Amino acid sequence: MSPKIQLAMDTLDFNHALELARQTSPYVDIIEAGTPLIKSVGIEIVRQLRAAYPNKIILADLKSSDVGAYEANMAFEAGADVVTTQGITTLATITEVQREADKWKRRAEVDMTGVKDVIARAREVKAVGVSLVLYHRSIDEEVTAGALWDEAAVQTVRSLCEMGLDVAIAGGVNLDVLPLLKGVPLYGIVIGRGITAQPDPAATAKAVFESVKEIWPA
């Protein structure tokens, strides 16, 4: 099965987000209201995306670090299918977000940005019921420290998949990165600036869609 394509929208503008979703929706499976977007315009953006795209997976990238169940409930009430919490936060918060997801029969995703030992943390969160993790190359590290996709990163992703987890990847992902992950049974591929910052987001999203289908034929 081909990985799901996730559009990450980190714009601060409500209408710009809706326009990006409109342009790219034919080519993506998951529409993400990014952390900066939710902080800027509020949870209403999730409600609007849910109403506009009933057949898409809507992800609220809350990156909850405390009061996890409270925040997750807010997003699920607004129509989110998936909410995120941080791998670097307490296991108690991650557990509470997962419990809330189970209550709603939806999903919690643990974002591994900043986690020193991703595999060890993945074992811990899996033990409390988490089934979806995000291997996330930090944007700040990419810009300041040159953190790029390499064989070590690919091997970590492969190891996460071998644990039986659904694994999504994010951070500097573009058309050039995708071939490096051929053969890895990814759940999702998250692309933000690689689509949204391009002159023609729709054309780029289509190119990503076609590349994914070629690299991971169904």
Domain count for the chain: 1
Query: Any residues with CB less than 8 A from the CB of 31 and at least 6 apart, and which?
Result: 6, 7, 9, 21, 25, 49, 53, 56, 57, 58, 59
Q: Is residue 33 within 8 Å of residue 63, measured between CB atoms?
A: no
pLDDT at 188: 98
Q: Is residue 186 within 8 Å of residue 169, measured between CB atoms?
A: yes
The CATH number covering residue 34 comes to 3.20.20.70
C-alpha 151/C-alpha 154 separation (Å) is 5
* Global confidence as pTM: 0.95
Query: Any residues with CB less than 8 A from the CB of 147 and at least 6 apart, and which?
Result: 137, 138, 141, 171, 172
C-alpha 22/C-alpha 193 separation (Å) is 16
Domain of residue 132 covers: 4-215
DSSP bridge pairs for 64: 85
Which segments of the chain have a pLDDT < 50? 144-146
